[in-house]
């Protein structure tokens, strides 16, 4: 009996340094979560300055600095359709000091992105959806149609004749146009470009007949008279888009496509930090000045977090996976 007791005491003493070490290792993490943030935060945007994701990151990042009491530094880490920046965020320490602000393509349609060394849904923690950017279908001013009904009639009369641009193969813009073509029974020819601005410029120049772009990309060409609106691709019509008709109003009620910009953190980020960030975002997006600034760049504050955000990601992924399958779209290697 005494020998067994002695063995237990020796074992406890032997384990004590490891237990103490574990406690010491855990203590800073707990303190960090409680005191967060205590130093500047790096906010990675995987696209160049001036785009939708970058603009939202800068508007929101400025207010995050005020809300959290620490500088928020935008880091434009570009390349490989945004996956270079995403990879940098995935490999960062999960301590809340490296975050990611980006559009949802990489997590909604990962099968269309360049090969990634990680599984986005496992490697990242979605904090919250921040803003949405409605997509708009525009056409060259010289096309023989000015609305959805006219487009459908012309395209059915001449299958495969009409071309459309997008910012690239597998982008939400591309898939939105394919969605319309499938539901309307059209044969349209896709011409991918390297970004939304070149895609919109191609429409205005007459290189292609039509395309799906964001409002900021479309506006200069609509104002110049070189392009015309066929319809907004979303069911809901944000007030800032003016009197643009929607595709749903024109007879395709299921059509609902937009870009969303969201905040993510590395997967093992403490939940307390994630909740602190989410609360800060909710407060920021209620601010009227922030809402107006987002509207000016063609986006709308649309906070969504928790299970509702995860459900939105899942439903979008399922919808676009079906479009990819039905349209036979292949990723460009």
Condensed to tens digits (0 to 9), the pLDDT of residues 195-205 reads 888 999 999 99
Is 40-133+259-327's fold the same as 134-241's?
Answer: yes
pLDDT at 196: 86
Q: Tokens for 56, please give them.
A: 């939202």
Candidate CATH numbers 3.30.300.130, 2.60.120.620, 3.40.50.300, 3.40.190.10; the one for domain 134-241: 3.40.190.10
Beta bridge partners of 246: 232
Provide long-range contacts, Cβ within 8 A and 24+ apart, for 198-201: 198/165, 198/167, 199/165, 199/166, 199/167, 199/173, 200/138, 200/165, 200/227
Per-residue pLDDT band for 22 (boundaries 50, 70, 90) equals very low
pLDDT in tens, 208-245: 999 999 988 999 999 999 999 999 999 888 888 888 89
**φ, ψ for residue 234, nearest 5 deg:** -100, 150
Per-residue pLDDT band for 333 (boundaries 50, 70, 90) equals low
**218-to-194, 231, 271 alpha-carbon distances in Å:** 16, 12, 40
Q: Return the residue matching tokens 């995987």.
A: 46
Give the helix ranges, DSSP H, for 233-305: 271-285, 288-296
pLDDT at 118: 84
Nearest Cα to Cα of residue 166 among 332, 333, 326: 332
Look over the chain and give the mean of its residue pLDDT values, rounded to a whole number. Answer: 88
Q: Is the pLDDT of residue 184 over 90?
A: yes
Candidate CATH numbers 3.40.50.720, 3.40.190.150, 3.30.70.260, 3.40.50.300; the one for domain 40-133+259-327: 3.40.190.150
Q: Is the pLDDT of residue 282 over 90?
A: yes
Concatenating the DSSP letter of every residue in 4-65 gives HHHHHHHHHHHHHHHHHHHHHHHHHHHHHHHH--SS-EEEEESS-TTSHHHHHHHHHHHHHH
**Residue spans per domain, the chain:** 40-133+259-327, 134-241
């Amino acid at each position: 009996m005494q020998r067994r007791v002695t063995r237990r005491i020796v074992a406890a003493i032997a384990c004590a340094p490891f237990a103490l070490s574990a406690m010491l290792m855990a203590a800073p993490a707990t303190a960090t979560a409680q005191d967060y943030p205590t130093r500047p935060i790096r906010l990675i945007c995987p696209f160049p300055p001036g785009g939708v994701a970058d603009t939202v990151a800068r508007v929101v990042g400025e207010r995050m600095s005020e809300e959290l009491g620490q500088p928020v530094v935008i880091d434009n880490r570009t390349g490989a359709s945004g996956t270079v920046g995403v990879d940098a965020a995935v490999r960062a320490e999960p301590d809340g000091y490296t975050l990611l602000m980006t559009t949802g393509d990489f997590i909604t349609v990962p099968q269309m992105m360049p090969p990634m060394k990680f599984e986005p849904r496992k490697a990242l923690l979605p904090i919250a959806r921040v803003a949405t950017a409605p997509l708009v279908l525009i056409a060259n001013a010289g096309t023989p149609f000015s609305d959805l009904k006219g487009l459908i009639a012309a395209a059915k009369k001449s299958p495969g004749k009409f071309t459309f641009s997008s910012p690239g193969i597998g982008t939400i813009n591309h898939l939105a146009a394919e969605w319309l073509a499938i539901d309307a029974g059209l044969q349209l020819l896709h011409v991918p470009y390297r970004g939304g601005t070149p895609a919109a410029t191609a429409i205005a120049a007459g290189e292609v007949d039509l395309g799906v772009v964001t409002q900021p990309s479309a506006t200069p060409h609509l104002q110049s008279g070189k392009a015309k609106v066929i319809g907004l691709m979303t069911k809901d019509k944000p007030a800032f888009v003016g009197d643009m008709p929607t595709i749903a109003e024109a007879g395709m009620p299921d059509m609902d496509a937009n870009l969303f910009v969201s905040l993510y953190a590395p997967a093992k980020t403490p939940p307390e930090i994630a909740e602190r960030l989410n609360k800060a975002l909710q407060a920021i997006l209620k601010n009227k000045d922030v809402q107006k600034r987002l509207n000016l760049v063609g986006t709308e504050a649309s906070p969504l977090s928790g299970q509702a955000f995860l459900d939105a990601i899942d439903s979008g992924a399922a919808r676009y996976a079906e479009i990819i399958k039905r349209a036979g779209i292949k990723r460009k290697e």
